[in-house]
A = this chain, B = another copy of it.
Amino acid sequence: MSQRNTDVTAQVIQDQACPIVEVLDHVAGKWSIGVIVAAADGPIRFTELERAVNGISRRMLTLTLRKLERDGLLVRTVYPTVPPRVEYSLTDMARELHASLLTLTSWAERHRADIIAARAEYDEREDAELSTATA
């Protein structure tokens, strides 16, 4: 990490930053994927998202929504009604991303069982080695 430039108006700290890995870390984060996929079918409300993304807390949903909105992936629309109504929808950029995410989720679904099996086998081998080491 480069030290902060001490000279004038160094708001340029960000220009070199934001490597691809950073972008992906935001976008492919634990909750972001779920939110984007859930919002892909059209405008969706806060509570609907909370139910759609299994296991997310209200706090993390809020934070994830803010992050995605800040990155220009979500548009937040507030309807000044009582009770309040807020809808989130994907931007074009996010819609492009969604297509890629779908191939990811598809892969994950197809290989979920394989991964579980691989883990079991790995752990078993590990235990075996531990036994022989002890013996």
> A23 — which chain B residues lie within 8 A by C-beta?
108, 111-112, 115
Contact with B along A69-97 (1 / 0, CB 8 A): 11111000000000000000000010011
The interface residues of chain B lying within 8 Å CB-to-CB of A48 are 9
A21 within 8 A of partner (CB): yes
Q: Does A34 contact B14, Cβ atoms closer than 8 Å?
A: yes
Q: Is the CB of B111 within 8 A of A100?
A: no
- How many residues from A make CB contacts under 8 Å with B? 55
Q: Is the CB of B24 within 8 A of A33?
A: yes
Is A128 part of the binding interface, using a Cβ–Cβ cutoff of 8 Å?
no
Q: Which residues between 12 and 30 of chain A lie within 8 Å of chain B, taking CB atoms?
A: 12-15, 18-21, 23-25, 27-28, 30
Measured CA separation A114–B45 after assembly (Å): 25
> Complex Cα distance A105/B19, Å?
11
Q: Identify 12 new A-B residue pairs, CB closer than 8 A, beyond the known A14-B54, A18-B112.
A: A9-B51, A12-B53, A13-B53, A14-B34, A14-B116, A20-B105, A21-B31, A21-B54, A21-B55, A24-B108, A73-B118, A99-B103
Closest 3 CB pairs of A and B: A72-B118, A28-B28, A23-B108
